């Protein structure tokens, strides 16, 4: 009897938990996998270094307060780990207070031994995630045409990739092909953009390897990918960011202006590489 109560309680807790975990890929459809069995590795609290498959954590506002808009949050971590709490859950909770549904994406890292072609693993996962949310939008009462992305640091690089790369790398068939992989808007926080002069070296070597060719660097420097079709984008950066130079955001915004993409750029004097939901500097907290 006690056991039954316990089981019931656990299932209730699962049902009512603040966030719900969703597998992005249907069983057996995840591309670019060698089929290895990997453990989830968390090197320290809030910092995952390895996952088996892409996963979304859904954060939904109360039905009465829920708007049509939703955002997929792409955590950073230099393409080496996922800061899913600080760069993910924290933003999700804040968006919920605005009535916006949020989904935190834990994507396969290019450092995973399971990937056949490492540099497209993260892109495949975010593309499939955008499709997944659009496909299931109705069930959450959100609009499939108001799905944005919010990326921090290397997650900003991935957000810019999915904003600009029109090739569908998901290999999904059937009715999945109806859904666009391009988000409706993007928010970039201290994003990695350039992989050349102003590169965050760690992100580059994790994504492209130590000796990336000039061509590869140019291809993955996402300011070069901006076109008139890039979705509206807002960028935030701190001028004193020692990890990802502020020029990353400036180069992307300049490309947006050139291609008449609507958006905004906010650069604060302080905040370093830590613009988050609660900030030390009152100005940056805006």
Sign of CA dihedral 186, 240, 278, 281: negative
- Cα–Cα distance between 130 and 179 in angstroms, integer? 8
Interacting residue with another protein among 65, 145, 177, 269 (CB under 8 A): 269
Name the one range near another protein by CB under 8 A: 46-54, 83-91, 150-158, 264-272: 264-272
- The Cβ-side half-sphere exposure at 218, using a 13 Å CA radius, reads 3
Name the one range near another protein by CB under 8 A: 20-28, 182-190, 199-207, 260-268: 260-268
- The Cβ-side half-sphere exposure at 201, using a 13 Å CA radius, reads 3
Residue 105 token pair: 């994406």
Q: How many residues bind another protein (CB under 8 A)?
A: 23
State which residue, 31 or 99, has the beta carbon closest to another protein.
Answer: 99
Window 66-105: residues binding another protein (CB under 8 A): none
Each residue 210-249 as x (binds another protein by CB under 8 A) or -, in order, gives ----------------------x-x----xx-----xx--
- The Cβ-side half-sphere exposure at 113, using a 13 Å CA radius, reads 6
DSSP string, 86-142: IIIIHHHHHHHHTT-EEEEEEPPPTT-TTBSSGGGHHHHHHHHHHHHHHHTHHHHT-
- Cα–Cα distance between 265 and 29 in angstroms, integer? 38
Q: What is the CA radius of gyration of the chain?
A: 19
Name the one range near another protein by CB under 8 A: 44-52, 60-68, 98-106, 275-283: 275-283
State which residue, 60 or 251, has the beta carbon closest to another protein.
Answer: 251
Closest contact distance (angstroms) between CB of 133 and another protein is 25
Interacting residue with another protein among 266, 272, 274, 277 (CB under 8 A): 266
- 248: enclosing H helix or E strand: helix 247-258
Name the one range near another protein by CB under 8 A: 51-59, 154-162, 221-229, 250-258: 250-258
Interacting residue with another protein among 267, 274, 277, 279 (CB under 8 A): 267
Closest contact distance (angstroms) between CB of 124 and another protein is 31
Residue 6 binds another protein (CB under 8 A):
no
Interacting residue with another protein among 253, 255, 275, 276 (CB under 8 A): 253
Residues in Cβ contact with 269 at an 8 Å cutoff, skipping those fewer than 6 apart: 238, 239, 240, 283
- Cα–Cα distance between 193 and 218 in angstroms, integer? 11
Residue 250 binds another protein (CB under 8 A):
yes
Residue 286 binds another protein (CB under 8 A):
yes
State which residue, 85 or 270, has the beta carbon closest to another protein.
Answer: 270
């Amino acid at each position: 009897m006690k056991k039954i109560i316990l089981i019931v309680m656990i299932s209730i807790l699962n049902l009512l938990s603040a966030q719900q975990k969703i597998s992005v890929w249907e069983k057996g459809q995840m591309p670019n996998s060698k089929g290895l069995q990997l453990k989830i590795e968390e090197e320290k609290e809030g910092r995952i270094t390895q996952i088996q498959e892409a996963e979304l954590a859904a954060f939904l506002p109360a039905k009465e307060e829920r708007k049509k808009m939703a955002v997929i949050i792409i955590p950073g971590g230099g393409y080496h780990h996922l800061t899913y709490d600080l760069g993910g859950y924290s933003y999700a909770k804040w968006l919920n207070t605005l009535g916006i549904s949020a989904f935190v994406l834990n994507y396969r890292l290019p450092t995973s031994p399971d990937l056949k072609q490492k540099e497209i693993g993260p892109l495949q996962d975010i593309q499939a995630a955008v499709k997944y949310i659009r496909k299931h939008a109705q069930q959450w009462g959100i609009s499939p045409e108001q799905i944005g992305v919010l990326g921090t640091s290397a997650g900003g690089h991935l957000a810019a990739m999915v904003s600009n790369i029109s090739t569908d790398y998901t290999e999904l068939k059937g009715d999945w092909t109806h859904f666009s992989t391009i988000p409706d808007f993007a928010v970039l926080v201290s994003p990695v953009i350039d992989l050349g002069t102003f590169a965050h070296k760690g992100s580059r070597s994790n994504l492209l390897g130590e000796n990336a060719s000039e061509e590869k660097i140019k291809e993955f420097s996402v300011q070069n990918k901006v076109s008139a079709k890039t979705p509206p984008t807002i960028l935030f950066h701190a001028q004193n960011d020692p990890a990802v130079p502020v020029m990353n955001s400036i180069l992307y915004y300049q490309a947006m202006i050139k291609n008449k993409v609507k958006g905004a750029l906010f650069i604060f004097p302080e905040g370093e590489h830590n613009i988050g939901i609660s900030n030390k500097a009152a100005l940056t907290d805006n």
